């Protein structure tokens, strides 16, 4: 453990593999995170069963990877640790299916705290409830493990019925490769609320709206859609990669002085105090559960607003321009690596229903 950060960070030396050496882990789901957890655990010598519903399109893939496959309930009945890695929206139903198979002293584990934090899953008091959440898409968790490297992750303990929940979670984190890079201790509340806020205000919602508005501003002013796409969409990756590798400082050091001065003097005029106030409102909706209630109700109603918004986004002009321009790029002709998504089944249903 290191004390150079504001919170505790754990590494391989802090994790005792014997905590799960003689235990069976049921990995429920075989999407983005599920396939990586299951394969990494298996190669670390942990007994793994993948829990998938009858008829799941992932069953053949899991079996081809040499893993035992059963229904979620069957897998949970044989497991000491049940790792719930299906999409948030189906987790409550899956939990109801397996809850009778959780014995006192077993562990219910998650990679995201949404359903526990907002009360959609209420675990029995005699089981441990933990979280090991790699901060990376599943295909990178798997690739890094295979390369002998690690993926940073989060650790949280919601309920410690046995007194050994944290130690067991660290052992799990080590088995999937996270403690090689470092596991940061947090809470279910902090992980859930910061994750939702980041997605909504910056990573997914904020950036996509900024890109579209920038594109529309240039096109409305008479500039070509192609130039607007390059300047507001295509080059975003270049800037984000610089930030990812070295922070804001590395980005400013890498762009031209003209870009730096323009960004420093004009950026705050675009993202001003009004944006800050809007972000605070979004955060409040996350904290008080308003967003969670809205999303749960949306799913219960069959996702009408979600479907409508997805269609509108898909039909935005920038998508058509981008599709045509990307055909010019050399990498578009190469086979691109794709990862299984934990939401693949849901996305397919939405598209088919549309």
For 206-246, write each residue's pLDDT tens digit. Answer: 999 999 999 999 999 999 999 999 999 999 999 999 999 99
Contact 159, 129 (CB under 8 A): yes
Rounded Cα–Cα distance for residues 109 and 27 (Å): 9
Strands 128-134 and 107-110: parallel
Strands 183-185 and 153-159: parallel
Determine the pLDDT at residue 345.
Answer: 42
Rounded Cα–Cα distance for residues 150 and 134 (Å): 10
For 127-141, write each residue's pLDDT tens digit. Answer: 999 999 999 999 999
Contact 212, 228 (CB under 8 A): no
Contact 113, 191 (CB under 8 A): yes
Contact 168, 81 (CB under 8 A): yes
CA distances to 328, 330, 331, 332 from 335, rounded to whole Å, are: 15, 11, 8, 8
Determine the pLDDT at residue 6.
Answer: 75
Determine the pLDDT at residue 203.
Answer: 95
Rounded Cα–Cα distance for residues 286 and 290 (Å): 6
- pTM for the model: 0.89
Rounded Cα–Cα distance for residues 156 and 175 (Å): 16
The catalytic residue among 112, 117, 139, 316 is 112
Which ranges of 153-272 would DSSP assign to H, the alpha helix?
A: 165-175, 178-181, 188-197, 205-220, 225-229, 236-254, 257-270
Determine the pLDDT at residue 141.
Answer: 97
Rounded Cα–Cα distance for residues 93 and 331 (Å): 41
Q: Is 37 a catalytic residue?
A: no
CA torsion sign for 116, 121, 125, 128 is negative
Spell out the per-residue pLDDT of the chain, length 354, in tens: 766 677 899 999 999 999 999 999 999 999 999 999 999 999 999 999 999 999 999 999 999 999 999 999 999 999 999 999 999 999 999 999 999 999 999 999 999 999 999 999 999 999 999 999 999 999 999 999 999 999 999 999 999 999 999 999 999 999 999 999 999 999 999 999 999 999 999 999 999 999 999 999 999 999 999 999 999 999 999 999 999 999 999 999 999 999 999 999 999 999 999 999 999 999 999 999 999 999 999 999 999 999 999 999 999 999 999 999 998 876 555 444 445 555 544 443 333 232
């Amino acid at each position: 453990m290191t004390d150079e950060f504001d919170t505790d960070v754990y590494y391989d030396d802090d994790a005792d593999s014997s905590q799960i050496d003689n235990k069976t882990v049921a990995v429920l789901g075989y999407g983005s995170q599920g396939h990586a957890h299951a394969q990494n655990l298996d190669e670390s010598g942990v007994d793994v069963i993948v829990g998938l519903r009858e008829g799941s399109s992932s069953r053949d893939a899991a079996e081809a990877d040499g893993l035992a496959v059963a229904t979620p309930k069957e897998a949970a009945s044989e497991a000491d640790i049940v790792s719930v890695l299906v999409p948030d929206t189906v987790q409550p139903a899956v939990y109801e299916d397996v809850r009778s198979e959780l014995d006192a002293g077993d562990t219910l584990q998650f990679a995201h705290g949404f359903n526990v934090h907002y009360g959609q899953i209420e675990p029995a008091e005699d089981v441990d409830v933990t979280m090991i959440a790699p901060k990376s898409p599943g295909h990178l968790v798997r690739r890094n493990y295979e390369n002998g490297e690690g993926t940073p992750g989060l650790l949280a303990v919601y309920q410690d019925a046995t007194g050994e929940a944290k130690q067991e979670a660290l052992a799990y984190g080590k088995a999937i490769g996270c403690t090689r890079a470092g596991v940061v201790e947090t809470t279910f509340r902090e992980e859930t609320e910061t994750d939702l806020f980041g997605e909504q205000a910056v990573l997914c919602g904020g950036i996509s709206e900024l890109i579209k508005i920038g594109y529309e501003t240039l096109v409305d002013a008479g500039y070509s859609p192609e130039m607007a796409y390059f300047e507001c969409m295509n080059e975003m990756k270049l800037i984000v990669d610089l930030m990812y590798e070295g922070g804001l400082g590395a980005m400013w050091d890498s762009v031209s002085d003209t870009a730096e001065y323009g960004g420093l003097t004009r950026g705050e005029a675009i993202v001003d105090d009004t944006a800050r106030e809007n972000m605070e409102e979004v955060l409040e909706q996350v904290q008080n559960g308003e967003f969670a209630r809205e999303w749960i109700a949306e799913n219960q109603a069959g996702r009408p607003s979600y479907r409508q918004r997805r269609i509108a986004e898909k039909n935005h002009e920038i998508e058509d321009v981008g599709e045509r321009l990307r055909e010019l790029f050399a990498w578009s002709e190469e086979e691109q690596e794709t990862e299984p998504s934990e939401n693949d089944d849901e996305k397919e249903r939405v598209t088919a229903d549309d």
